[in-house]
Amino acid sequence: MRPVIGLSTYREQTRWGVWDAPADLLPSAYAQALEAAGAAPVLLPPVAEPADAAAAVVARLDGLVISGGADVDPARYREAPHQRTTGWRPDRDAWEVALLDAAEAAGIAVLGVCRGMQVMAVRAGGSLDQHTPDLVAHETHSPGADVYGDTLVETLAGTRVRETVGERLTVRCHHHQSVRSHPGHAPAAYASDGTLEAMEDTTRPFWVGVQWHPETRDAGAAEDHALFRALVVAASGRT
């Protein structure tokens, strides 16, 4: 039986066909990556009462992906917004934190992608660097518009991330923010400029965050697609 993996989603004003309306959406690459890895993906849009709903939803899941998206509200880590910090979604922040709370309580496998890794760090009491180019003096991590930046990352010895994707790989990034502190999570990969590109909680079977977008790679061609397979393997232990 395929494990059921939940994917957090956007809620945005969207146009399709004759419609221009609020919609719950996510790039299909996420669901396709999970399906190719052997899972049954389900979308989890933000809800008005996140705590109660998250517990009910996670009780029916075997694993969880916190997806990429907009900046995290800096008020969640007690900072004023940087001039380049925009478009945060308090409803989505609250929903994803509630999902992570419920996932921790239930002991299910979790993968955070880009914003998802940042939400994981902030939920744990960590903080973000709100505009990474201020620190590294380049825009490679997010070249602009819908372009992904190719970033060489090196994983750390002894981590689940290295075990899953190998020692080095070139990943596709689209983030202008990055994790500064991450209580309860061990660093698992860095870019050459020192940016943290992956972290994990070593006390749990599978609780991993990556700053890059493994879902954008072809399932048969990229080492980092192994992250979805590893998530599915971890989730399969519950089915």
* Residues with catalytic function: 114, 213, 215
- How far apart are the C-alpha atoms of 85 and 127, rounded to whole Å? 14
In 3D space, the residue among 207, 235, 212, 233 whose CA is nearest the CA of residue 222 turns out to be 212
Q: Which two tokens stand for residue 147?
A: 């372009």
Q: Which two tokens stand for residue 130?
A: 């709100």
Whether residue 198 contacts residue 211, with contact meaning beta carbons closer than 8 Å, is answered with yes
182: Cβ contacts below 8 Å, ≥ 6 apart: 120, 121, 124, 126, 196, 199
Whether residue 149 contacts residue 114, with contact meaning beta carbons closer than 8 Å, is answered with no
- How far apart are the C-alpha atoms of 230 and 193, rounded to whole Å? 27
- How far apart are the C-alpha atoms of 198 and 149, rounded to whole Å? 16
63: Cβ contacts below 8 Å, ≥ 6 apart: 3, 4, 5, 6, 39, 108, 109, 110, 111, 206, 231, 232, 234, 235, 238
